[in-house]
Amino acid sequence: MKHLLGLEELSAAEIERILDAAAGYLGVGVGDVPKRDDLKGKVIANLFYEPSTRTRVSFGLAARRLGADTLDFSPSGSSTAKGETFIDTAKNIEAMGIDAVVVRHSSPGAPHLLVKYLLPHVRVVNAGDGAHEHPTQGLLDIFSIRRRLGKVAGLTVGLIGDIAHSRVARSNIHGLVKLGAKVIVCGPTTLVPSEVASLGVEIAHDLDAILPRCDVLNLLRVQFERQRSGLFPSIREYRLLFGMNGERMKRAKPGMLLLAPGPINRGVEISPDVADGPNSAILDQVS
Ligand code: CP
């Protein structure tokens, strides 16, 4: 595999192989576990055209813990402000001598453009392209499920909330369905496009009805920055119908795992006590 553009393109065997390999890297460079030199001599460029905390920092840290040099680019303070295009910027950074690009962009397909325009030896990793895919988030979500619950096949996973604007939802769906999980997408009708059923998922609009069936809930952030207004009446109503809280936890399956890709809107899709409670794997996902 040369690039990582999405989980839609990967087979179940390829996803399993990545997860198995990832298990061997868990904790490298942390505490007493030594760093490695798998990427010694390589230069990895992080091109982030959208804000990021977890993805940008973890890619940088992971690269350095494996011996690579890293280069961080964000448009603020760069010549993007003078009108330089995405491709021109990428080609100029490529000219400095890089081996891989990790890219986040608001336009779906931006990583695929880099594959087309950059030199053949440069590897491209999609760190989130618009509402299309966020494959590394999908992989780490599935990795966290497998690690905490011991399997993926046969589990029922609820993806809750803003499915329409969520690249995380699309990557989760592709990966989880391929690995044999049952996926239920649940949210307000305005945030769950009916076409998503063609991806092999069940559509629901009543969280309380599906809650007792779910082994895992992945609580998607309401993406206020991508939404036009009026997709649901109020934050209060969203929280009442789709927010995970202590009362709902009492009606969930015992041991139900709670994931959230972050950043979380505390008090909207998840209450603080649940986000920080024993069923939450939110910080495990980040690790
Ligand atoms: N989950 C995730 O992609 O977080 P960031 O936007 O902070 O990278």
55 lines ligand 1 (CB under 6 A): yes
- Sign of the C-alpha dihedral computed for residues 229, 233, 234 and 235 taken in this order: negative
Predicted local distance difference test score (pLDDT) of residue 278: 96
- State in Å: Cα 262 to ligand 1 middle: 6
Predicted local distance difference test score (pLDDT) of residue 65: 98
The answer on pLDDT for 117 being more than 70 is yes
54 lines ligand 1 (CB under 6 A): yes
Predicted local distance difference test score (pLDDT) of residue 228: 64
Average pLDDT over residues 144-167: 97
- State in Å: Cα 167 to ligand 1 middle: 11
φ/ψ of residue 270, rounded to 5:
-150, 140
- State in Å: Cα 115 to ligand 1 middle: 23
Element (H, E) at 278: none
Predicted local distance difference test score (pLDDT) of residue 77: 94
Predicted local distance difference test score (pLDDT) of residue 1: 86
Taking the C-alpha atoms of residue 214 and residue 150, their distance in angstroms, rounded to an integer, is 16
Q: Where are the strands (E) in 67-197, listed by range?
A: 69-73, 100-105, 123-129, 156-160, 182-186
Pick the atom of ligand 1 nearest to 127's CA.
3
The answer on pLDDT for 235 being more than 90 is no
Predicted local distance difference test score (pLDDT) of residue 223: 72
58 lines ligand 1 (CB under 6 A): no
Question: Considering the chain, what is the average pLDDT of its residues?
Answer: 96
Pick the atom of ligand 1 nearest to 262's CA.
1
49, 54, 72: which to mutate for ligand 1, most atoms within 8 A of CB? 54
Could you read off the pLDDT of 174-206 as tens digits, one per residue?
999 999 999 999 999 999 999 999 999 999 999
- State in Å: Cα 264 to ligand 1 middle: 10
The answer on pLDDT for 232 being more than 80 is no
53, 165, 223, 265: which to mutate for ligand 1, most atoms within 8 A of CB? 53
Could you read off the pLDDT of 9-53 as tens digits, one per residue?
999 999 999 999 999 999 999 999 999 999 999 999 999 999 999
Average pLDDT over residues 254-274: 95
Average pLDDT over residues 79-99: 97
DSSP 119: -
Strands 182-186 and 156-160: parallel
- State in Å: Cα 261 to ligand 1 middle: 7
Task: Name the amino acid, one letter, at 112.
Answer: H
Residue percentage of the chain with pLDDT more than 90: 94
Tokens representing 31 are 């505490």
261 lines ligand 1 (CB under 6 A): yes
Task: Give 226-276 as a 3 state SS string.
Answer: CCCCCCCCCHHHHHHHHCECHHHHHHCCCCCEEECCCCCCECCCECHHHHC
- State in Å: Cα 126 to ligand 1 middle: 12
Predicted local distance difference test score (pLDDT) of residue 227: 63
- State in Å: Cα 57 to ligand 1 middle: 9
Pick the atom of ligand 1 nearest to 53's CA.
7
